[in-house]
Amino acid sequence: MARSKLSDNKGHFLTEVKLDERRQIDFDAFPFCLPVVKHLKTLEFHPKVTYLVGENGTGKSTLLEAIAIAAGFNAEGGSKNFNFSTRRTHSVLDEYIMLGRSADREKTGYFLRAESFYNVASEIDRMDEDPDSGGPPLRFSYGGKSLHEQSHGEAFLSLVQHRFGANGLYILDEPEAALSPARQMSVLLKIYELAEHNNCQFIIATHSPILMAYPGALLYSLSVEGIDAMEWRDTEHYKLTKSFLDRPDVFLHHLLGG
């Protein structure tokens, strides 16, 4: 497994994740049978932006989920103040990993997972409707109106633009799921502003060549062969997308048998 070269960089908030070698693990059972878990020893995080990329089934979302839960976030997403559960679907991997932390502590944070964002939006509405909740409505932190009253993409963008603030730890699972290419660029700009100028750290699982283009980020490619740190242009996501856009006629001919 490739290791990053960040040993002299304290990083901020989360510095690494590794398997707890004190625990007995059955690598034939889920989630330990996933490629990312089988190859996980110690994975260092960039102090600003770290990406996990790979094919479906490699385990990047499962690992990201475990990192988020171990860091104190709700399994279905949200901030550390969210503790709702609509259905327990997360794995036990969070109980088998250890997170390294720097001396700094985040002041805020968020775990965004595309597949359960609807549940988070519903919980925000429920809390705003609770007469005993106290304080201003939560929707003011998400653009001023219910996330259910916005399109899926608008809701994602409102979350990033209005709820994400300085000194934050943000763990994002496929944030591109509801976003057009233009909106993905808007999110990339917001990530840049927060990471470079507001002391924020991002750990992101994504399939988007646009989002993973962040300059200087640490990018891990996950596969059945292992975990490798690589450059954006060397990822299969970039190469395949670029090849298709350069010669769509050739790809469609082979793909569709035309």
pLDDT of residue 162: 83
pLDDT of residue 136: 61
Nearest to 174 by CA among 16, 72, 60, 37: 60
- The topology under which CATH files domain 14-232 is Rossmann fold (3.40.50)
Question: What would the pLDDT profile of 87-112 be if each residue is shown by its tens digit?
Answer: 566 789 999 999 999 999 999 999 98
Task: Locate the domains of the chain by residue range.
Answer: 14-232
pLDDT of residue 251: 86
pLDDT of residue 9: 46
pLDDT of residue 255: 83
pLDDT of residue 78: 82
Counting DSSP H helices and E strands in the chain, the numbers are: 7, 9
pLDDT of residue 219: 98
Beta-carbon count within 10 A of 98 CB: 14
- The pair of three-digit structure tokens given for residue 141, joined into one six-digit string: 């932190």
Q: What does DSSP assign to residue 94?
A: G
Q: List, for the chain, all residue ranges whose pLDDT scores fall below the cut of 50.
A: 1-9
Which pTM does this prediction carry?
0.87
Query: In whole angstroms, what is the distance from residue 104 CA to residue 44 CA?
Result: 16
pLDDT of residue 58: 93
